[in-house]
Chain A
Amino acid sequence: MTSHHDSKGPSSGPLAKTFAALAKDGRKALAPFVTAGDPDLDTTLAVLEALDRAGAAVCELGVPYSDPIADGPVIQASYTRALAAGFTLEKFFEMVRKATGRVKMPILAMVSYSIIYRRGIDRFVDDAAAAGLAGLVVPDLPLEESDVLDVTCKGANLALVRLVTPTTPPERAAEIAKRSTGFLYCVSVAGVTGARTDLPEGLVERVKWLQTKTDVPVLVGFGVSTPEQVKLLSSVADGAIVGSALVRRVGELAAEGPEGVAKGVESYIADLVNAAR
């Protein structure tokens, strides 16, 4: 009987340990998203250390892609900046290797399937595991196309975090929730990424329902930017993902150099971490 473990993937992996520790303390996960290589990879490394110091539970590291259709203007612009600054996958994995040696929070790559496919699924997953990544989030890979990557990730003990959106019909959402490993990413709104002021109605009910369909934690993302929102989400979800709001800050602080960016990011995220309980 391996089906339980099969469907949950690396249940003893770094993500499971992180969420168990949070639960023990009665806290929720604050999961920041940052774009790798924006404005450069040295800054990203400094930012990852700052996020870890600030108490972020896990980090999603966005791999810049030339044609990101799921992303709004803020993240899209950060990808363009990173690519213009000479981002490559070789440099990315090298930086991740350094980062995972220095921080305790698990790091996942948020990466387009176009990039994974071109490198080769086996090679990408091997590189990711060797660099110490805890898993992958692949925003343009729906359930139907995901079997090969799913098996490959399991073989390498990487989580494959899946996304459920407001347009996902219930039956399909249940299947996605069941097959997600590490955690489940609940997208709060239909649309592209971007900070929003309110939480959409119906979200609380949806998160509660999703929690009954999966054993992994349910994290909510898209549009989260303030401690108030994090607090609200933390009353129901297992954590909150903060993306565009953080990426915008990194962009604004870029001129201040790696340490300046890291400092600004650390205090912003520390406030959000405090609200995640």
Chain B
Amino acid sequence: MPSPLSPPLPAGGISQVPDAHGRFGRFGGRYVPETLSAALDQLQAAYDEARADPAFQAELDQLLAAFVGRPLPLLFAKRLTAYAGGAQIWFKREDLSHTGAHKINNTLGQGLLAMRMGKKRIIAETGAGQHGVATATACARFGLDCVVYMGAEDVRRQEPNVRSMRMMGAEVRPVESGSRTLRDAINEAMRDWMGSVETTHYIIGSVVGPHPFPRITRDFQSVIGQETLVFCQQELGRDPDCVVACVGGGSNAAGMFYPLVEHKGIRLVGVEAGGRSSKPGDHAASLSYGNAGILHGSLSYVLQDPDGQTADVHSVSAGLDYPGVGPEHAWWHDTKRVEYTSVTDAEALDAFDLVARREGILPALETSHAIAWAVKEAARRPKEEVIVVCLSGRGDKDAAEIARLRSIENGGAHA
């Protein structure tokens, strides 16, 4: 398998980012309090050093194989394809990762970096809880202290993950401020880091945040796209026609797309959370409906009011319930290399049911957004075409919340 830190990219323009200042075109950068500047410089230096160190590479590859279970296969979704009645739908099985989502690729990589920097305490934010679990897991494996900030609303709706984190020795701190979701958890993690930065590493869970986080997380996740290319050659003898991923902060999508952006023949599609409607406050689709703005340390697309105050957002899926998106996605959006679209709560829930019954897989609600789009699109495309869906995670964590939402729905139907 190609290694995540030395992507075999063809030379070209669109992938040659970020620059030394963390810029993806005009996006990205580093808008943080001065207190964090030195730590971000240190992280950048440690990362550059690690990339050049074959031992780092080898240790990570070993973990990805024996601990995570990589490489992870492509599965032909036969009965889903038959249902859609058009192009072939294939699943890239990130849900088979140890801990059940792609997030572990990043937390192992950053955990190793933290140890290189001599930092023994790790903090993280989490929305769906998958990044929190992946961080707790890496910390248990490496013997690092772990504190996870999680919005109180997400603690409620992703309860199974809270339990797992605590079992692995992590402290989960519910965040009661603001909307009590992912965005507030990031605020709290950043505030912790302001006071602990000399001894603590912040493992941010997506391709968001100040430089160099978007780049580091993308690189650690790029193994998804690299494996996809290799498996497509093995199974199909060619590249896929279309690759689709859900976009919250954008890490599974960035890891999938980055190795593919120079393959000009592959159509790339990112699916955001369309929530209840396209009205402000009803969705979390920053690229579809937002403006250029700064949130959590970088310039990207954000959902803000005209004064620059972050807007309230909504998604049925905790992992997509975020008013911003990684700056590289903003760059791909503006360069038109990737198409971004959105899918509603209801469509995502239907896709969850469909895949559960037709494929015997419970996908995460986040992932269900990508699946919903793929099913709609497959119906419109010829049978020879291949659509690969990044199956970013498993949905066990969502089962109870989906059952709750369904019972409210059914109750409503009787009324």
How many whole Å from B69's CB to the nearest CB in chain A? Answer: 36
Q: Answer yes or no: B406 CB below 8 A from chain A CBs.
A: no
Residues of A154-192 at the interface with B, using a CB-CB cut-off of 8 Å, are 162-169, 172, 176, 187, 189-192
Among candidates A67, A89, A168, A192, residue contacting B195 with C-beta atoms closer than 8 Å: A192
Among candidates B31, B38, B293, residue contacting A118 with C-beta atoms closer than 8 Å: B293
In the complex, are the beta carbons of A164 and B34 less than 8 A apart? Answer: yes
How many whole Å from A68's CB to the nearest CB in chain B? Answer: 8
A208 to B112, CA, bound (A): 39
Please name all residues of chain B whose beta carbon is closer than 8 Å to the beta carbon of A88 when the two chains form the complex: 307
Interface SS, B side: mixed
| Interface locus among A23-31, A95-103, A107-115 | A107-115
Q: Answer yes or no: B238 CB below 8 A from chain A CBs.
A: no
Q: Answer yes or no: A69 CB below 8 A from chain B CBs.
A: yes
Please name all residues of chain A whose beta carbon is closer than 8 Å to the beta carbon of B293 when the two chains form the complex: 114, 117-118
Tally of contact residues, A, Cβ under 8 A: 43
Q: A66-B310, A69-B194, A144-B30 are in contact. Are A190 and B35 (CB under 8 A)?
A: yes
A139 to B183, CA, bound (A): 19
In the complex, are the beta carbons of A76 and B177 less than 8 A apart? Answer: yes
Q: CB-CB contacts of A62-73 with B at 8 A, as 1s and 0s?
A: 000111111110
How many whole Å from B9's CB to the nearest CB in chain A? Answer: 27
Please name all residues of chain A whose beta carbon is closer than 8 Å to the beta carbon of B304 when the two chains form the complex: 114, 118
User: In this complex, what residue of B is CB-closest to A92?
Assistant: B307
Q: Answer yes or no: B224 CB below 8 A from chain A CBs.
A: no
In the complex, are the beta carbons of A114 and B195 less than 8 A apart? Answer: no
Please name all residues of chain B whose beta carbon is closer than 8 Å to the beta carbon of A192 when the two chains form the complex: 191, 194-195
Q: CB-CB contacts of B273-285 with A at 8 A, as 1s and 0s?
A: 0000000000000
With a 10 A CB-CB cut-off, give which of A72, A114, A144, A192 has the most chain B CB atoms: A114
In the complex, are the beta carbons of B198 and A65 less than 8 A apart? Answer: no
Q: Answer yes or no: A199 CB below 8 A from chain B CBs.
A: no
Among candidates A141, A164, A187, residue contacting B31 with C-beta atoms closer than 8 Å: A141
How many whole Å from B204's CB to the nearest CB in chain A? Answer: 12
Please name all residues of chain A whose beta carbon is closer than 8 Å to the beta carbon of B190 when the two chains form the complex: 69
Q: Answer yes or no: B37 CB below 8 A from chain A CBs.
A: yes
Please name all residues of chain B whose beta carbon is closer than 8 Å to the beta carbon of A168 when the two chains form the complex: 34, 37-38
In the complex, are the beta carbons of A163 and B191 less than 8 A apart? Answer: no
In the complex, are the beta carbons of B35 and A115 less than 8 A apart? Answer: no
Please name all residues of chain A whose beta carbon is closer than 8 Å to the beta carbon of B32 when the two chains form the complex: 69, 140, 142
How many whole Å from B270's CB to the nearest CB in chain A? Answer: 23
User: In this complex, what residue of B is CB-closest to A163?
Assistant: B34
Please name all residues of chain B whose beta carbon is closer than 8 Å to the beta carbon of A80 when the two chains form the complex: 177-178
How many whole Å from B188's CB to the nearest CB in chain A? Answer: 9
Among candidates A66, A117, A141, A191, residue contacting B309 with C-beta atoms closer than 8 Å: A66
With a 10 A CB-CB cut-off, give which of B37, B190, B195 has the most chain A CB atoms: B37
A190 to B178, CA, bound (A): 24
Q: Answer yes or no: A145 CB below 8 A from chain B CBs.
A: yes
How many whole Å from A93's CB to the nearest CB in chain B? Answer: 11
Q: Answer yes or no: B383 CB below 8 A from chain A CBs.
A: no
User: In this complex, what residue of A is CB-closest to B189?
Assistant: A69
User: In this complex, what residue of A is CB-closest to B188?
Assistant: A69
User: In this complex, what residue of A is CB-closest to B311?
Assistant: A66
Q: A76-B177, A117-B308, A118-B304 are in contact. Are A69 and B183 (CB under 8 A)?
A: no
Interface residues of B (CB under 8 A from A): 21, 29-39, 177-178, 183, 187, 190-191, 194-195, 197-198, 291, 293-297, 299, 304, 306-310
30 contacts between A and B (CB under 8 A): A67-B183, A67-B310, A69-B190, A69-B191, A70-B33, A70-B35, A80-B177, A89-B307, A113-B294, A114-B294, A114-B295, A114-B308, A117-B299, A118-B294, A118-B306, A118-B308, A139-B33, A140-B297, A142-B30, A142-B33, A144-B30, A145-B30, A163-B33, A163-B34, A165-B35, A167-B39, A167-B197, A167-B198, A176-B34, A192-B194
Given contacts A167-B197, A172-B38, 14 further A-B contacts (CB under 8 A): A66-B178, A67-B178, A68-B187, A69-B187, A70-B194, A118-B291, A144-B21, A163-B33, A167-B36, A167-B39, A168-B37, A190-B195, A191-B35, A192-B194
Q: When A and B form their complex, which 4 residue pairs have the shortest distance between CB atoms, in order from nearest?
A: A118-B308, A191-B195, A115-B308, A69-B190
